[in-house]
Amino acid sequence: MIKKALICGVSGQDGAYLSKLLLEKDYQVYGGSRDAQASSFTNLKRLGIRDQIDVVSINIIDFRSTLQTIMKVKPEEIYNLAGQSSVGLSFEQPVETLESISIGTLNLLEAIRFSGQPIKLYNAGSSECFGDTGEHKANEETAFKPRSPYAVAKATAFWEVANYREAYNLFACTGILFNHESPLRPARFVTQKIIGTAVRIYNGSREKLALGNIEIERDWGFAPDYVEAMWLMLQQDIADDFVISTGTTTSLREFIDITFNELGLKASEHIVINKDFMRPTDLKAGHSDPSKAFNKLGWKAKATLNDVIKCMIDSELLLSKTNLNDLEKVGSNSLI
């Protein structure tokens, strides 16, 4: 029988790529959004799959809405990718961040328990929960030391999932994902800001790329690789949590250099440091150990950072020459 999956947060980067993956695996995909009638679902359109998704309105902060949707759809799998997703924005909107992530996750868990259905739940966790680990490569046993409202919310959701798994024997797991990028990354994220500005400069703009702390180091992967790990986690016999990452750490400065070099530009000629972009607290570096995912899931990141940056640049160059309708006609090859 065809499996049914409900993706909460289908409008985002990961939701769109996960939808594409599940469709390729012959799932019936239900895409959850707060207001399915008003949402544009731009990312689904960019991947050329909007018409293949059954969109439903669901507000996971509202328990009644959550339970009603689950009882109506009756999915075998639920992917919780919803909630405020920006670390920087979480300092400006801490209450909304905590509610959308922690209460939303709790409502999903409680609704699954109340429904009595054998539903498997994937919860999107974050490496931000680890805080600063120095040179230590964080794994599933590393203690959480969150340093932002976003990280606090994600840590809360992680322990909610662990508690319901133990207390009620639910199949619920968290993927502790390190940074992962793609052409679908929103412009407010620093990686997409770098790519977009560099491409505009390449096309003749005289603007400068204004950034905060460019000495931070992160483990950057490719979103289409990471959604495959999400799916694999729900195909296991026993629910478990996994660190999902490449295992390679790169500085933001190097990310910038790779981007500008790819376009034949010299980064130092186009960057200005603006203290207004500095966060109240930030992580100096993120190091990871994804060996458990390889050993138990058989998963390993395929794309290198250079691959990711090139893909994002190619897509941005194409986007700058076309409109969305034209991009849909071209297809999604530039986005995967």
Q: Which residues are catalytic?
A: 126, 128, 150
Contact 123, 162 (CB under 8 A): no
The CA–CA distances, whole Å, from 240 to 161, 167, 170, 224 equal 10, 14, 11, 21
Instruction: Write the CB contacts of 230 (distance below 8 Å, at least 6 apart in sequence).
Output: 14, 18, 79, 122, 124, 175, 244
CA angle, 251 as apex, 262 and 226 as ends, to 5°? 80
DSSP per-residue codes, 250-302: EEHHHHHHHHHHHTT--GGGTEEE-GGG--SS--SB--B--HHIIIII-----
Contact 32, 82 (CB under 8 A): yes
Contact 97, 87 (CB under 8 A): no
Amino acid sitting at position 294: F
Q: List the one residue out of 250, 74, 111 whose CA is nearest residue 178.
A: 250
The burial of 251, by beta-carbon neighbours within 10 Å (0-12 exposed, 13-18 middle, 19 or more buried), is given as middle
Amino acid sitting at position 160: E
Determine the Cα–Cα distance for residues 16 and 335; give it in Å rounded to an integer: 11
Determine the Cα–Cα distance for residues 310 and 47; give it in Å rounded to an integer: 18
